Structure 1
Amino acid sequence: MTSHIAVGRRRLPIWLIPLLWTLALGLWGLPRQHSVWRDEAATWQVAERSVPEIWHMLSHVDAVHGLYYLLMHGLFEAFGPSTTTLRLPSVLAMAVAAACVTVIGDRLAGPRAGLGAGLALGLLPAAQFYLQEGRPYALVAAGAAISTLLLVTLLEDRCHALRWAAYGGTVLLCGLLNWLSLMILPAHAATLVWTRAGRGPWTRWAVASAAATTGVLPLILFSRGQSDQVSWIPPLTWHMMIGPAVLLAIGGLGALLDRPPAGHLSTAAVGLPLLAVPQLTLIGLSLVQPLFLDRYVLFSMLGLALLIGTALGTLVRVAAPRFPRASRWILPVVAATALVALLPQTLAKRSPASRVDDVLSVAADVQRLKQTGDAVLFVPAARRDTALVSPADFTGLRDIALRDSPEDSGTLKGVEAGPDRIRAAMLAERRILLVTDAVEVARPVSAQRDRVKASVLKEYFTAVTDEQVRGRRVTVYERRPR
């Protein structure tokens, strides 16, 4: 049963508080001063393509995010492209995740633990970051929360075929959003082991899990052929494991405070595997191929929130006999204190500086600096995302390096001409605008085409204007007198 709170003569479900809390945190500063960074720009520009163009692109690149792109295409069609349309799905998804965590904590450890878990999720730094991100990771977290709630319900109550089907369908949907989310299955298996589940639950879980995995398998196999997309991820180092170690230490402490009888379903039995197994599995996978990015296991924060909620619930329960009135204030005081303590970081995550760059700010500079007849170049070619997200700002500029558009080539950045053709096209221009990365985030030029661009600009052109803003840079070059 779900606990309720009294509001006048009405009784509202307790999960409503974390849902509204997380929703408020997500809507707070949602536009980030009308900034969009490079990962979100990929979502934006793909969402504005037609469905056939999206399918064409997925056959070449980014198949792993195909379902998400189609979803965002539908939302852009219905509500128009904007930072709100881009990010609101993540806000709503994380609010749903907070509600589910609350219900799980309430059922396993009481209303105070559930409420603490739901409030904690919205305040976790990782959740705060992806809460306002136009990418699929918050949606995956919501699906993981729903599937975990379904598993808890099935282990507590009688097994219902429809609920197991819903469990398998939710895991399948998460896998189609990002197949690395299937790491939730070994986490749930660990919960079954911990609680000494019988043959019936194990059999039904295995069938549901196998069906979900089978449904995702074609995507896994196909996307493995596009593995160059993650070739930029650095190899795993000891330094990269400090964060997971800290999280596991905090979660382990929370689990120690929840000491249920052997085989008993508890927040420790659910939360600790949900936190630890995806983190450790991703570390193991990264020893074979570098894949260690915190966003791939964002859903593991659900486990951390559950364990934090358990610790708070235990604190309230211990204090209640001696301080019955004061104990009622422990949870709101802790939540308020955490909010104040995290305020600098919370504000930072809602500023454009929280991301490596801003696609829209440099587009405004291009609009201001361009003149009739100017050409434009992008180094690297991926910085063409600025023009794809803000095409109106580039009206009148000729993209002299581009051979095949992103839509025609089925790529994110288009296909550029060969180095010799780019060189010849540049030498025919009087003024060229170069859109690239700001100095502090720029990587060394490596592609042959980009080396030719840099060489011709250095030898034949003079920089007359140079603007850098939020990780991006636009430089105006004029041809030197012959």
Structure 2
Amino acid sequence: MVRVEGRGSGAVPHATGALRRVFGSAWFIGLLATLATAVGSGVPSYWNDEAATLRLARLPVADMLAFVQEKDAVHVVYALLVHGWIAVFGESEVAVRAPSAIAVGVATAGVVVLVRELGQPRAAVVAAVVFVVLPRTSFNGTEARSYALTTALVTWAAVWALRAGRNRGAGRWTVFAVLTGLAAATFVYALLLVPAFVALALLHGRVDRRRLVALAVAVAAAVVIAAPVLVTAASQGSQVGWLAHQPVNAWTVLVEPFAEQAWWLAALLTTIVVVVGARRARRPWVAHRRTVLALALWLLLPGAVLVLGSLLVTPVYTPRYLSMSTPAAAVVVGLAVAGVRRTVAWVLLAAVVLAAAPALVTMRTPLGKPAGTDLRGIARTLQHEARPGDGFLLADGGTVSLRPRVALAAYPDAFAGLDDVAYRGSYRTTGSYSDRLVGTAALRDRLRSEQRVWLVVPDAGDRELRDALRATGFAPAHREHVAGAEITLWTR
């Protein structure tokens, strides 16, 4: 008997294998990470830091480059990216935060590739999921700031450090140098990860003179790439004076950099690493001690340097500066979980996701950003209720992140057709993100020509502005409240 096989025999297994390759690819996983991060990203109002990003990014490139000579040189790379982005996609919260969500996806793909190239394929997806659900990752991915981009750059710099060290070739070292240089230009403290990159580059093979020279040249090239930003930023140290008010304690060093306020998640992750990792300490951890060293440098060195610097020299630490270490934290958890049975691994991963869920949901609420002031609520109230030609006064004193005037920077279109009574000159000339405002006497003179003025003050109030209105014949006619601010219409 002759067996006749149809032309399709073997096609199903081939198709199944192709699907596995697609759905298991690092970039497909990264795409899922971007989509998951972007969900709900448009719900929270902008906050002060994002308003600063927008004010810098809106400037013409020549003006931007002039501005950063005085302030925020460390943000110029990201601002240039956002400048081009908003020219195409606009300034909605979803659009402006989208590059950060994309960066999370790119970083996630890098985590998958890195773990697989470290010879731990079982840990790759676990590490990727842990990375995506870390509250710090999710916060960065839903914020118009540079931290997600920095994280993506350092993750891929780590991948290419490993590749360059494993396979000699100028091309790999060049990619590593460019990625490291861009990371440092985007966030200067990314240079603290160079020792971790060195450890990865020397992870495989013999440490010979040729490899050391190539590594040294690549690191030097990275510094040269970042040099314009590094040199300019060195003269702007006074702009981070606010770091003097940042607490440095066990919470801000061990919990907040990775888990934000979700201490229970930090406790769970620590337990997984300690308990599960201890079970496999005799074999994988010891057998891969070079890998452990590289991850330890990535995870611990930046925090150690910044904390010690703050305690012994000058304040340089805030928890979000350790965003660049989140991939290492995820990889450590992934390697620990990979050593247990598959069923147990899935249970542990599900527990991590569930533990992270409350924080991920909270940061996607209207007041999910720091400070708790609803800048969008302020802008919308005036946009919908003010009449063309009405004046407005937005309090601009006290803690920067609580100032109602930040709403004008975040949502300028909402104030179109209204009179900015206190305005004297643009922030472009102040060396800061605050406009020049008139003094009390000049303000009262201007108020005498107004008939209706909208006053927005923080919950703590602003007696000086109220006194100016009363002194020029105004009385409150209508009052509303949004989170963090009181909005009052004053009329004659």
**TM-score bucket (shorter structure):** 0.7 to 0.9
TM-aligned CA deviation for residue 266 of structure 1:
5.0
1:76 corresponds to which of 86, 109, 123: 86
Find the residue that maps to 2:176 and give its secondary structure.
helix
- The equivalent residue for 2:454 is 433
Partner of 2:377: 361
Q: Structure 1 147/228 Cα, relative in aligned 2: closer, same or farther at 3 Å?
A: same
1:147-174 Cα distance to aligned partner (Å, 9 max, x none): 001112223x222211111111111111
CA contact (8 A) 2:162 2:200 kept: no
> In 1, Cα distance between the equivalents of 2:55 and 2:238?
20
Offset, 1:207: 2.1
Secondary structure (helix, strand or coil) at the match of 1:476 reads: strand
Superimposed CA distance per residue, residues 367-407 of structure 1 (whole angstroms, 9 cap, x where no aligned partner):
23323443222221664332234333212322122211234
Which stretch has the larger CA shift, 465-474 or 81-90? 465-474
Question: Does 1:465 find its partner at 2:483?
Answer: no
Aligned to 1:181: 190
Query: Does the Cα contact within 8 Å between 2:273 and 2:333 map onto a contact in 1?
Result: no
Q: Deviations over 1:45-83 (max 9, x none)?
A: 333332233223223322211111111111111222222
Give the counterpart letter for 1:22 in structure 2. A
In structure 2, relative to structure 1, the CA distance for the partners of 1:250 and 1:151 (3 Å cut) is: farther
| More moved, 130-139 vs 98-107 | 98-107
Instruction: Describe the shift of the 1:146–1:250 C-alpha distance in structure 2 as closer, same or farther (beyond 3 A).
Output: farther
- One-letter identity of the residue aligned with 1:390: Y
Alignment of 1:282-431 (within 5 A): 282-287=306-311, 288-316=313-341, 327=342, 329-355=343-369, 356=371, 357-380=373-396, 383-407=404-428, 411-426=432-447, 428-431=449-452
Shift of 1:349: 1.4
Tell me, yes or no, if structure 1 residue 274 matches structure 2 residue 298: yes
The answer to whether the 8 Å contact 2:199/2:290 transfers is no
Query: Structure 1 475/59 Cα, relative in aligned 2: closer, same or farther at 3 Å?
Result: farther
2:307 partner letter: I
> TM-score, normalised to structure 2's length?
0.82
Q: How has the CA–CA distance of structure 1 residues 86 and 205 changed in structure 2, closer, same or farther, with 3 Å as cutoff?
A: same
Aligned to 1:153: 163
Deviation at 1:179, TM superposition (A): 1.2
2:38/2:141 contact within 8 Å kept: no
Q: Could you tell me whether the CA contact under 8 Å between 1:181 and 1:297 is conserved in 2? A: no
Matched residues in 1 for 2:391 and 2:323: separation? 42
Identify which of 128, 131, 134 aligns with 1:118.
128
Q: Indicate the residue corresponding to 2:10 in structure 1.
A: none
One-letter code of the match for 1:184?
Answer: L
SS where residue 278 of structure 1 aligns?
Answer: helix
- The change in CA–CA distance for 1:346 and 1:261 in structure 2 (over 3 A counts) is closer
Match in the other structure for 1:25: 36
Deviates more, 1:63-72 or 1:39-48: 39-48
- 247-256 vs 182-191, which moves further: 247-256
Change (3 A) 1:458 1:178: farther
1:230 equivalenced with 2:240 (yes/no) = yes
Count the aligned residue pairs: 453
SS in structure 2 of the partner of residue 29 of structure 1: coil
Aligned to 2:178: 169
Higher alpha-carbon deviation: 12-21 or 187-196: 187-196
Decide whether the 8 Å contact of 1:57 with 1:409 is kept in 2.
no
Whole-angstrom distance in 2 between the partners of 1:228 and 1:454? 33
Select which of 59, 63, 67 maps to 2:77. 67
**What is the CA deviation profile of residues 28-56 of structure 1, one whole-angstrom value per residue up to 9, with x for unaligned ones?**
212116x3222222223333332233223
Q: Secondary structure at the match of 1:23?
A: helix
CA contact (8 A) 1:367 1:393 kept: yes
Give the aligned residue type for 1:470: A
Alpha-carbon offset, residue 260 of structure 1: 5.0
Contact map agreement 2:164 2:201 (CA 8 A) in 1: no
Contact 1:108/1:266, CA 8 A, preserved across alignment: no
| Cα distance in 2 for residues equivalent to 1:458 and 1:90 | 46
Pick from 221, 225, 241: which aligns with 2:253? 241
Q: Which amino acid aligns with 1:293?
A: T
Structure 1 gaps of 5+ residues are 317-326, 446-450
> Where does structure 2 lack aligned partners over 5 or more consecutive residues?
1-12, 259-265, 398-402
Structure 1 residue 191: Cα displacement: 5.3
1:336 and 1:252 mapped to 2: Cα distance? 15
* Percent pairwise identity: 27
What is the TM-score normalised by the length of structure 1? 0.83
The 1-side partners of 2:91 and 2:129 are apart by 31
Counterpart of 2:229 in structure 1: which amino acid? L
Distance 1:80 1:392, change over 3 A: closer
AA partner of residue 135 (structure 1): R
Tell me the amino acid that sits aligned with residue 310 of structure 1.
L
Q: Report the Cα offset of residue 277 of structure 1.
A: 0.8
Q: CA deviation at 1:309?
A: 0.4
- Deviation of 1:235 (Å): 4.5
SS in 2 for 1:377: strand
* SS of the residue 1:304 aligns to: helix
Cα gap change, 1:250 to 1:428, in 2 (>3 Å): farther
Which residue number corresponds to residue 263 of structure 2? none
The secondary structure found in structure 1 opposite 2:454 is strand
Match of 1:144 in 2: 154
How much has 1:97 moved relative to structure 2?
1.0
Task: Assess if the C-alpha contact under 8 Å between 1:400 and 1:425 holds in 2.
Answer: yes
Query: Residues 266 and 331 of structure 1: is their aligned pair in 2 closer, same or farther, counting only changes over 3 Å?
Result: farther
